[in-house]
Amino acid sequence: MSEPSNPLDGVRKLVQRRLPEAGDSPIEWFGAGLENEVFLVGGDLVVRIRKEPDPLLRATAVRHESALLAIVGRISPVPVPEPVFTDPAAGALAYRLLPGVPLREYPVDGSARLAAPLAGLLDRLHAVPIAEVRNLVPVDNEPLTVWLADTADDYRDVAARLDGRQRRAVEDFLARTPPARPDTLTLCHNDLGAEHLLVDPDTGMLTGVIDWSDASIADPAYDLALILRDLGPQVYHAVLEGYSHPFDDTHRERAAFYARCALLEDLAHGVRTGERRYLDANLALMNRTFEPGPEGLGK
């Protein structure tokens, strides 16, 4: 039986075919998420390869994401990936490396310096006409009772990692009636966590927003929820001050709800896979995310 091929060889052949001038550049593995494996070519070209095994779904996803990035790139006040080439058959999308480091790796002090660009991004993103993206992204609008049931499953997997106070807070949350479903959906990044926000490590300023593969027509409160979870209430409130779309108490209630569900989902992923980055990052956010307060459901 022949040895499996080196994935770097496949990336090299792809680059030689689509961008010949970079074909002899050094290639290194750059990371992986749930949907993509990522390689860095010549130190500045990011090549993302979809893990989707179905060739039709893989090709469609690449075409749709490339078209979406063209739309977002026109309206975003923050840099986003700009495709250099795509190869739908290979499930590949390539773009120049954006400056900065993932915010997950950079300890911020809760400064509102991030708030203005994030508010500007969400203001424009949530105003994109649905008709422009209806054929590019899915609709994500599950009942919040389903969210709560899924979170209860996640909690069973993580309960042993929590202390008694944290378990009581989660169990109180799970026992409550979830908020009502939203009555308005918008185009959302839908995974606006700290790992997808790039910052300048010297200034803490936002330099880019990456990984738009989960973009959906969804509840705009979810984009705000991940800011609340990962960046904390100070940045969250500062973003809302610059956000011009309606965001009343029902939106705030859903944002707090989603923040808690998303935290437990990521924590459960860390437990199931053994990935320390998910475990450590989300355990550190437990007390802040589940404490009673004006944004919480545990008042």
> Mind listing the pLDDT tens digit for each residue in 253-264?
999 999 999 999
Q: Helix axis angle, 115-125 relative to 233-241, nearest 10°?
A: 50
- Sheet hosting strand 36-41, strand order edge to edge: 27-32, 36-41, 45-50, 92-96, 83-87
- Rounded to the nearest 10°, the torsion over CA 55, 61, 67, 73 is -130
For the question of whether the overall pTM of this predicted structure is more than 0.85, the answer is: yes
- What is the maximum span of the chain, computed from C-alpha positions, in angstroms? 62
Tokens at 227, concatenated? 């800011």
Q: What pLDDT does residue 108 have? A: 64
What's the pLDDT at 262? Answer: 97
Please state, in angstroms and rounded to a whole number, the distance separating the CA atoms of residues 216 and 207. Answer: 23
Tokens at 155, concatenated: 């909690």
Single out the residue of 201, 245, 199 nearest to residue 223, CA to CA.
245
Q: What angle do CA 143, 147, 153 make, to 5 degrees?
A: 145
Q: What is the pLDDT of residue 211?
A: 93
Per residue of the chain (299 residues), what is the pLDDT tens digit?
A: 344 468 899 999 999 999 999 999 999 999 988 889 999 999 999 999 999 999 999 999 999 999 999 999 999 999 999 999 999 999 999 999 999 999 988 766 656 689 999 999 999 999 999 999 999 999 999 999 999 999 999 999 999 999 999 999 999 999 999 999 999 999 999 999 999 999 998 888 999 999 999 999 999 999 999 999 999 999 999 999 999 999 999 999 999 999 999 999 999 999 998 888 778 888 999 999 998 764 544 33
Tokens representing residue 148 in the block: 């709560």
pLDDT value for 2 = 41
Return the ∠ at Cα 39 (arms to 36 and 44), rounded to 5°: 125
Instruction: Please give the single-letter amino acid code of residue 299.
Output: K
pLDDT of residue 296: 46
In degrees and rounded to multiples of 5, residue 295 shows phi and psi of -95, -5
DSSP per residue, the chain = -PPPPPHHHHHHHHHHHH-GGGTTS-EEEEEE-SSEEEEEETTTEEEEEE----HHHHHHHHHHHHHHHHHHHHH-SS----EEEEEGGGTEEEEEPPSSEEGGGS-----GGGHHHHHHHHHHHTTS-HHHHTTTS-B----HHHHHHHHHHHHHHHGGGS-HHHHHHHHHHHTSPPPPPPS--EEE-S---GGGEEE-TTT--EEEE---TT-EEE-HHHHHHHHHHHH-HHHHHHHHHT--S---HHHHHHHHHHHHHHHHHHHHHHHHH--HHHHHHHHTTHHHHHS-STTSS--
Q: What is the pLDDT of residues 151-196, one digit of tens each?
A: 999 999 999 999 999 999 999 999 999 999 999 999 999 999 999 9
Strand partners for 38 = 31, 48
**What pLDDT was estimated at residue 105?**
84
Instruction: Give the pLDDT of residue 299.
Output: 38
Distance CA 260, CA 285 (A): 10
